[in-house]
């Protein structure tokens, strides 16, 4: 059965339909390798509405255990070119209907790919910093994973931020 998705009508920006989330893990959903408090609950709520993909270099080696039991796809990157691997993953999704989250230089290309296709790209600072290139390739910058995910659960917040 298809999930209902999330529809947000943003004055001046346009109608955004989100059917999938593509997110980094380390520094975006997690701090020091541990899922940030409140993120698990939000991922569970969002998973009822959209498909969720977490693609990560997994710097701390904890993503699989921290995300265990959640109805998401988790892919750990291998080898060099993490930024290109994440971009290719995004290209295999219908980017126009994706909300993409990231904080690192290795997230800049998937954020850019989603933004350029008309999807929603969100740079997230979760206590470990946010690369300037990630910010420049996003539609908006948010402090905290919970705040970032809440933008999809409470779309009026996005409307207020992105309208023009």
What integer is the mean pLDDT of 105-126?
A: 97
In a domain? residue 36: yes
Could you tell me the sign of the dihedral formed by the alpha carbons of 96, 50, 75, 22, in that order? positive
Average confidence score pLDDT of the chain? 96
Global pTM?
A: 0.96
Range of the domain at 85: 6-162
pLDDT value at position 159? 87
Please provide the size of the chain in residues: 164
What integer is the mean pLDDT of 80-92?
A: 97
In a domain? residue 139: yes
Percent of the chain past pLDDT 90, that is, above it, reads: 88
- What gap in Å lies between CA 33 and CA 50, rounded to an integer? 24
Could you tell me the sign of the dihedral formed by the alpha carbons of 157, 55, 2, 36, in that order? negative
What is the per-residue pLDDT across 29-70, written as a single tens digit (0 to 9) for each?
Answer: 999 999 999 999 999 999 999 999 999 999 999 999 999 999
In a domain? residue 1: no
Structurally, the chain folds into a number of domains equal to 1
In a domain? residue 122: yes
What integer is the mean pLDDT of 80-95?
A: 97
What CATH number corresponds to the domain at position 69? 3.40.50.1000
Residue 107 has pLDDT above 90, yes or no: yes
Among 18-22, 34-38, 155-159, the range scoring the smallest mean pLDDT is 155-159
What is the per-residue pLDDT across 6-19, written as a single tens digit (0 to 9) for each?
Answer: 999 998 888 999 99
Task: State the Rg of the chain over Cα.
Answer: 14
In a domain? residue 54: yes
Residue 1 has pLDDT above 80, yes or no: no
What integer is the mean pLDDT of 131-143?
A: 98
């Amino acid at each position: 059965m298809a999930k209902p998705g999330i529809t947000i009508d943003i004055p001046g920006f346009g109608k955004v339909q989100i059917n999938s989330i593509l997110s980094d893990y380390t520094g975006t959903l997690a701090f020091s390798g541990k899922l940030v408090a409140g993120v698990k609950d939000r991922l569970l709520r969002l998973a009822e509405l959209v498909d969720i993909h977490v693609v990560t270099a997994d710097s701390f080696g904890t993503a699989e255990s921290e995300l265990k039991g959640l109805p998401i796809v988790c892919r750990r990157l291998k080898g060099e070119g993490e930024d290109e691997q994440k971009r290719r993953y995004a290209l295999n999704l219908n980017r126009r209907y994706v909300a993409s989250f990231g904080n690192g230089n290795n997230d800049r290309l998937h954020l850019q790919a989603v933004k350029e296709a008309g999807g929603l790209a969100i740079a997230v600072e979760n206590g470990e910093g946010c690369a300037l290139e990630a910010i420049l390739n996003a539609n908006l910058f948010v402090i905290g994973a919970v705040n970032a995910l809440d933008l999809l659960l409470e779309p009026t917040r996005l409307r207020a931020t992105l309208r023009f």
